[in-house]
A and B are shown apart, each in its own frame.
Chain A
Amino acid sequence: EPEVTQTPSHQVTQMGQEVILRCVPISNHLYFYWYRQILGQKVEFLVSFYNNEISEKSEIFDDQFSVERPDGSNFTLKIRSTKLEDSAMYFCASTPPRGEPLHFGNGTRLTVT
């Protein structure tokens, strides 16, 4: 069964540095998402992406965040200048049409020191 893949599984970075989290969604899916989960807290929506543009974003997704689909397969989340509070598990997900269940990747654990 096809899966969403995310790399790296764990990223450690220093405060103020830029990070790029990578995802390869399932190939015939059209909608892509980033979620995050701070340790001990709930899974929070960050952004959704469809047809090469952001379709919806949360208040968490401020100017330091950006997403891109640089080629036909990758979907990236960039954090421009990381803060300590960005430390979390970041999940990529995809769905065929909207409203279908999310297919999640294994997540990238981001640790900002």
Chain B
Amino acid sequence: AQRVTQPEKLLSVFKGAPVELKCNYSYSGSPELFWYVQYSRQRLQLLLRHISRESIKGFTADLNKGETSFHLKKPFAQEEDSAMYYCALSPSGTYKYIFGTGTRLKVLA
């Protein structure tokens, strides 16, 4: 079955601390993986996708096929990073995107 797992519902870190939001997926093919972010009172928006291999707002995510993971990392968290983060998988040959349950990141001053 195709599934995205985000084991942490809530992650609290202090400003300046490193952040890692975990995402594991279950999919037998070559995955297209994304991280979406939802700031308070705003729409879901793309943060980054694995094929672009870029850093957005200091965040990076590396696809690890061996561990079937796509964890989101940032070396130094900022208060404005506080938001809901969703990992999503787009299986090849389908039109749907499968989302994880999301992790709420709280960055404390």
Contacts and interface: CB of A to CB of B under 8 A. Distances in A.
Interface in B50-86: 86
Q: Interface size bucket, B side?
A: 20 to 34
Interface stretch (A13-21, A62-70, A72-80, A97-105): A97-105
A56 B96 CA distance: 7
Given A43-B86, A101-B49, A48 B101 contact: no
A99 B43 contact: no
A94 to B, nearest CB: 12
Nearest to A55: B95
A47 B44 CA distance: 18
A105 B44 CA distance: 8
Nearest to A107: B43
Q: Interface size bucket, A side?
A: 20 to 34
B46 A102 contact: yes
Nearest to B94: A56
B32 interface: yes
B49 to A, nearest CB: 6
B95 A43 contact: no
Interface of A: 3-4, 31, 33, 35, 41-45, 48, 50, 55-56, 58, 91, 98-99, 101-107
12 contacts: A3-B43, A4-B43, A42-B86, A43-B99, A43-B102, A44-B99, A45-B96, A45-B99, A101-B34, A102-B44, A102-B88, A106-B43
